Amino acid sequence: MTMRRFMLIVPLSLVAMATLTAQQPDAAQIRQEREQAEKDVPRLVETLGLKPGMTVADVGAGGGAFTVVLGKWIGSGTVYATDIGQRQLREIREYADKEGLKNVTVIEGAAAATNLPPECCDAVFMRDVYHHITTPSIAAFNKSVLASLKPGGRFAIIDFRGRPGSAVPEGVPANRGGHGIPPEVVVDEVKAAGFNYRETIEGWPTREKGAVFFLVLFQK
C-alpha cells in the first residue's frame, strides 16, 4: 500500500526524522498489542491444534506481539515471523531478544510469497494482514503458504469485514466491499490454492456479538 504525502518545502533531514518517528509504535500501542496477543493466543493455539515443540509461522507479524507470546508458549518449538517491512523485521528481532527468546526465526517475506522453507510448519496464521494482499499476488501467495505447511497442517486467517464505503487499499480487488474482506471471499481464494476449508469462527476470539474479527480455518 503506497502512501502519498504532499509537503511544503522542509529540510529533507527533518522530513525523514518526522516520518521515522511517526512510524515508530509508542509504548501504549506496544502494550495494547501485547495484551491482545495474551488474550487471543490460547484460543489460537486450540484452533490450530498446536502443542509445545511444534512449529508455527506468524505471517505479517508486524510489531511481533503474537510472535513473542507464541514463542513463550511453544517452548522447544519454533516460531517463524515474517514481514515485508524492514522496520517491522528489526522490531520483531529486538522484541524477541528483549524477551530472551531463542526459538524465534525472523524471515523477510515478499508480496507473492512467505519465503518460509518447504513443509516447515505445523500451522500458519495471518492476523489483520490478508486483506492487504494485492491482485497479482493472491494466488501465488496462498500457494506459498500451502507449500510451507506439513501434510495436515492448519492455516488460519484472522481478518475483518470491510465497512461499506471505506477506501479499498491500492491494488486490492474491488470484491472486498471496502477496507477489509468478507470471509466468503477468503474461503474461495484460499480453497483455489488447494486448501481444504474447515470452518469460519465469527466474533473472534470469543464469539461475542459485535466483535470486529472473524477467523477462517483451512487445512492442507
pLDDT at 18: 33
Please determine, for residue 19, whether its predicted confidence score (pLDDT) is greater than 60. no
Please determine, for residue 33, whether its predicted confidence score (pLDDT) is greater than 70. yes
pLDDT at 65: 97
**pLDDT: is 127 or 162 the higher one?**
127
* pLDDT range class, residue 86, cuts 50, 70, 90: very high
pLDDT, mean of residues 20-39: 77
Listed by start position, the domains of the chain span 28-219
Please determine, for residue 20, whether its predicted confidence score (pLDDT) is greater than 80. no
CA 214/CA 220 separation, integer angstroms:
20
3-state secondary structure the chain: CCCCCCCCCCCHHHHHHHHHHHHCCCHHHHHHHHHHHHHHHHHHHHHHCCCCCCEEEEECCCCCHHHHHHHHHHCCCEEEEEECCHHHHHHHHHHHHHCCCCCEEEEECECCECCCCCCCEEEEEEECCHHHCCHHHHHHHHHHHHHHEEEEEEEEEEEECCCCCCCCCCCCCHHHCCCCCCHHHHHHHHHCCCCEEEEEEEEECCCCCCCCEEEEEEEC
Please determine, for residue 78, whether its predicted confidence score (pLDDT) is greater than 60. yes
Here the cell at position 203 is 466474533
CA 17/CA 14 separation, integer angstroms:
5
CA 63/CA 109 separation, integer angstroms:
15
pLDDT at 24: 63
Q: What percent of the chain has pLDDT over 70?
A: 88
What mean pLDDT, rounded, does the chain reach?
88
Q: In which residue are the cell numbers 495484551 written?
A: 35
CATH number of 28-219: 3.40.50.150
Q: What is the pTM of this model?
A: 0.87
Please determine, for residue 10, whether its predicted confidence score (pLDDT) is greater than 60. no
Dump pLDDT digits (tens) for 174-197: 899 899 999 999 999 999 999 999
